[in-house]
């Protein structure tokens, strides 16, 4: 059986054309191998290559998101923070992140922002976390990982939350799990409400098996003691203290509340209507010169896939292997009510393709309303 070093070297050779100097570490590649046990190295390389294309060619500049001036650059971070409280202090080579679910207005956030815009903000969190893990690995020479603590205090049972979990939040979690393989070693839920079993029954089928295996739901009565087996209490937030527990010492701010919603602007541009039959994809091609801008606004009536790619061959059809300039979403749960709006700048002259997919549908056609405009680069 080959050693980890030999397997990592083989994987590196298969993806070397897309591997960036920043991401090229032994442990980053090892995580992909660990995340797909029993899968051939060629198929692992295919999945990793898809991630590397996102890092190196996407207009979001994912590979440099970790840089200090780019961290927490999205306004959503104040309302949906992921708090990095540092090293576990109990479990070696682990960092601890805390998400305060009951103080985050998920329903309103998804009512105001499109799924890709939220993914973009959460990618900043993921890249900051990955950078911290890489720094720990550089310091210790050993593989590091993350303990994610989900604080469920204050979560209210509502149809809106359940619909989110089944739909847009499933798209978000699926995207992050697809691109950040084996970064989290344990997902711990504390402050569990009485109705959590109902939510868990709905969420469980949506999670990959390896993610389900990592989940630990601590008891509602004794979680303050149980969390101490994973995290040094002195590094945990003070709002976990109660009349019987005063050992949590870290001051952590609560998420900011969303400001009142302003009246949405009425779109002035005319949207074109497009029908995509069940099981089909639709391509729209644009010839762009370097520096040209492609501005788009898209909504859909149901589940859909979406991306924008740079095509080097007119006959290319494998969207997973093509160079993405806007991230590939194989499946966005619909209807997509908040339009996907963005502008991508052509990094080079060539053919660019907008990909819209209805391949997951068996019977129903997909209705797309869209506006796509090209602004030519004014060259002197």
CB 94 within 8 A of CB 182: no
3-state secondary structure of 292: coil
CB 116 within 8 A of CB 60: no
The C-alpha R_g of the chain, in whole angstroms, comes to 22
What ranges make up the beta strands (E) of the chain? 83-87, 94-100, 145-151, 184-190, 215-217, 272-276, 281-288, 293-300, 304-311, 323-332, 336-345, 350-357, 366-375
> Looking at the predicted structure, is the pLDDT value of residue 241 above 60?
yes
Residue 247 is predicted with a pLDDT of 94
- Round to whole Å and give the CA distance between 169 and 311: 30
Q: Domain of 153?
A: 65-240
For residues 278-290, give the mean pLDDT. Answer: 95
pTM, two decimal places: 0.92
Q: Does 125 lie in the same domain as 198? A: yes
> Looking at the predicted structure, is the pLDDT value of residue 208 above 60?
yes
Residue 220 is predicted with a pLDDT of 85
Here the tokens at position 233 are: 């209490």
- Round to whole Å and give the CA distance between 255 and 104: 7
- Round to whole Å and give the CA distance between 278 and 351: 26
Show which of 15, 39, 62 is a domain's final residue.
Answer: 62
For residues 297-308, give the mean pLDDT. Answer: 95
> Looking at the predicted structure, is the pLDDT value of residue 41 above 70?
yes
CB 198 within 8 A of CB 166: no
Q: Does 52 lie in the same domain as 10? A: yes
> Looking at the predicted structure, is the pLDDT value of residue 259 above 70?
yes
Q: Does 280 lie in the same domain as 161? A: no
Chain-wide mean pLDDT for the chain? 90
3-state secondary structure of 42: helix
Q: What is the CATH number of the domain that holds 168?
A: 3.40.525.10
Residue 281 is predicted with a pLDDT of 95
For residues 277-290, give the mean pLDDT. Answer: 95
Residue 163 is predicted with a pLDDT of 86
Locus of tokens 């070093």: 5
Instruction: Report the candidate in 311, 286, 302 with the shortest Cα–Cα distance to residue 374.
Output: 286
Number of domains in the chain: 3
């Amino acid at each position: 059986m080959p050693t980890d070093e030999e397997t990592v070297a083989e994987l590196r050779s298969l993806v070397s054309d897309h591997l960036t100097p920043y991401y090229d570490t032994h442990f980053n590649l090892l995580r992909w191998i660990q995340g797909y046990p029993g899968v051939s190295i060629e198929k692992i390389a295919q999945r990793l290559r898809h991630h590397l294309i996102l890092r190196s060619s996407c207009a979001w500049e994912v590979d440099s998101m970790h840089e200090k001036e780019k961290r927490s650059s999205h306004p959503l971070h104040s309302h949906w923070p992921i708090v990095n409280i540092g090293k576990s202090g109990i479990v070696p080579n682990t960092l601890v992140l805390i998400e305060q679910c009951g103080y985050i207005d998920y329903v309103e956030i998804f009512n105001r922002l499109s799924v890709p815009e939220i993914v973009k903000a959460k990618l900043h969190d993921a890249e900051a976390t990955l950078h911290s893990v890489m720094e720990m690995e550089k310091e210790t020479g050993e593989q590091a990982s993350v303990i994610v603590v989900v604080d469920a205090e204050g979560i209210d049972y509502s149809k809106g939350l359940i619909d989110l979990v089944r739909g847009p939040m499933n798209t978000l979690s699926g995207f992050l799990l697809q691109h950040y393989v084996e970064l989290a070693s344990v997902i711990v839920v504390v402050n569990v409400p009485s109705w959590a079993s109902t939510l868990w029954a709905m969420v469980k089928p949506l999670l990959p098996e390896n993610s389900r295996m990592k989940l630990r739901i601590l008891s509602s009565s004794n979680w303050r003691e149980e969390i101490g087996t994973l995290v040094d209490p002195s590094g945990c937030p003070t709002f976990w203290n109660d009349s019987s527990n005063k050992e949590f010492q870290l001051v952590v701010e609560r998420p900011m509340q969303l400001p009142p919603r302003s009246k949405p602007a009425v779109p002035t541009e005319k949207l074109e209507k497009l029908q995509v039959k069940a099981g089909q994809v639709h391509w729209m091609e644009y010839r762009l010169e370097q520096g040209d801008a492609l501005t788009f606004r898209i909504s859909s009536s149901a589940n859909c896939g979406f991306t924008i790619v740079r095509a080097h061959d007119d006959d290319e059809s494998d969207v997973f292997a093509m160079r993405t300039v806007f991230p590939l979403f194989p499946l966005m749960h619909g209807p997509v009510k908040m339009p996907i709006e963005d502008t991508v700048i052509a990094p080079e002259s060539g053919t660019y393709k907008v990909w819209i997919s209805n391949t997951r549908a068996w019977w129903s056609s997909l209705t797309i309303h869209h506006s796509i405009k090209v602004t030519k680069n004014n060259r002197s």
